[in-house]
Amino acid sequence: NPYFEVNGALISRSVIFELRPLSKDDILTLIERAVYDNERGLGAYDAVIDEDAASFLADMAGGDARSALNAVELGVLTTERSEDGKIHITLDVASECIQKKVLRYDKNGDNHYDTISAFIKSMRGSDPDAALYYLARMIDAGESVTFIARRIMICASEDVGMADPNALNVAVSASLAVERVGMPEASIILGEAAVYVATAPKSNASYLGINEALTEVKKSGSDPKIPAHLQDAHYGGAAKLERGVGYKYAHDFDKHYVSQQYLPYELDGREFYRPGELGYELKVREHMKYIKGEND
């Protein structure tokens, strides 16, 4: 990323072009042409490539056509012909040629999903030892480190949430660091993030809250009217429409809080977020009681 590596003065005098990686389908098309095209490819070698081998190369290429094509060429030129006289590029051949391990998961993917499920549930269940073990299994199997990092971020938000908001910061930082560092050191970063999330206090209050709010919106749509005093009042004539009239600016009041109607009147009293009693969320709970005068 030039914004990280190049002096800012040079960046300001340059035109930056973002070169996006090719999609998996693009890579698969190029692999097929390389294997079977007689004029511009290796068709004259009478080679065939298995579907799972082509898919594996497309995945492992990471959007880099050259990487996939080099592996195909190496496979065709170094693989002995089978009894039918053809050169067969199998999954094992593809793995050797691109020098990346095939994910050691069962063919239907159950073990893949079982392992990631166990990893997430171990972090949720506050077992750092199990989390590290399943993380190690995924890394050893060749699982994408970005895939793992995404799951840690999701767990940090869904299962730790406001009990320790820093968990999401740690997970996001780990995801960025993994992209910049790469393997094998990325495993250290993922391990640290997984342990942090696993040992953090837990709360799914914000997760439950947004799901409950989404359910309400799907049920009632946009029918519940936004209170007039909360509506936009920056344009001329807004006051005549009573938009923004009567709005109370919270910072003008003691504790920077003032009681007024925020939810639509049809949803008055509805509660979506119910803070728990662990970690930082306990402070949130007490703070909300304090500003509302419920501790008096």
* Higher local confidence (pLDDT), 127 or 140: 127
Does the pLDDT value for residue 3 go beyond 90?
A: no
Find, among 109, 84, 124, 295, the residue nearest to 207 by Cα. Answer: 124
Tokens standing for residue 111: 């073990």
DSSP string, 182-224: -TTTHHHHHHHHHHHHHHS----HHHHHHHHHHHHHHHHTT-S
Is the pTM higher than 0.85? The answer reads no
Q: pLDDT confidence of 158, banded at 50, 70, 90?
A: very high
Phi, psi of 48, rounded to the nearest 5 degrees:
-135, 150
Pair of tokens at residue 53: 């081998």
Q: Which has the closest alpha carbon to 139: 172, 118, 115?
A: 115
H or E stretch at 135: helix 128-140
Q: What is the pLDDT of residues 162-198, one digit of tens each?
A: 999 999 999 999 999 998 888 889 999 999 999 999 9
Sorted by where each starts, the structural domains of the chain and their CATH numbers stand as 24-98 (1.10.8.60), 110-199 (1.20.272.10), 220-291 (1.10.3710)
Q: Does the N-terminal peptide bond of residue 201 adopt cis geometry, omega within 30 degrees of 0?
A: no
pLDDT digits (tens, 9 = 90+) for 21-58: 888 899 999 999 999 998 889 999 999 999 989 998 88
**For the chain, first and last CA: distance in Å?**
54
